[in-house]
Amino acid sequence: MNPLTAAGAWRRLRRCAAALLAGLAAAGAAFAHEASGPAGGFLSGFLHPLAGPDHVVAMVAVGLWGAFLGRPALWLLPVVFPLVMAAGGAAGVLGMPLPGVEVGIALSAIALGGAVAAGWRAPLALAAVMVAAFAVFHGHAHGTELPQAADPITYSLGFVVATGLLHLCGIAFGELTRFPWGGKAVRGLGALIAVVGAGFLARAL
């Protein structure tokens, strides 16, 4: 193994973490300004998924699985999820009912984390359908929790951007599969996500 290559992978992880922290810091600093006006703009949407661990672990798992499966899943899954999530969010804003949202979110962490932990190389179409199906539940939850007097478009843009950053963090960590020790680390994180998802499921039932 080339140590410089391994060092490069760790640098990508650090940059991803730094980007998330910078986004949180900037959003947190500006969030106070929203309090003086109508809440629920871009910053509210950006912070919303980051404040929910059930959303965070599932979104990271999408990036992990995409990296594990390799191209084209590497970019397709992180594109499918936010696009379909935005559609689910619109349905939530419009008040369209969707039963079992919390259960669906918990199952997304179990299924996606479990897929990574098991090293499941699913066909691309099946992986995309799974990711899309779970994205509906995440989006619907965001839409129904839209603050009053919020701008649905800028709010949706905010949580789509945050979702993309979480996918990128999953991809960055998933790149460690290039190394023998990295594969075990990635599958271990997938297993942890699945266990966390099981805890969310127990709470939702």
**Domain parsing of the chain, residue ranges:** 3-30+40-204
End-to-end CA distance of the chain: 46
Put simply, whether the predicted model's pTM sits higher than 0.85 gets the answer: no
C-alpha pair distances (Å), 117 with each of 105, 178, 191 = 18, 16, 5
Q: What is the mean pLDDT of residues 126-153?
A: 86
**Confidence at 146, pLDDT banded by 50, 70, 90:** confident
Q: What is the mean pLDDT of residues 35-53?
A: 69
pLDDT single digits (tens) 111-131: 999 999 999 999 999 999 999
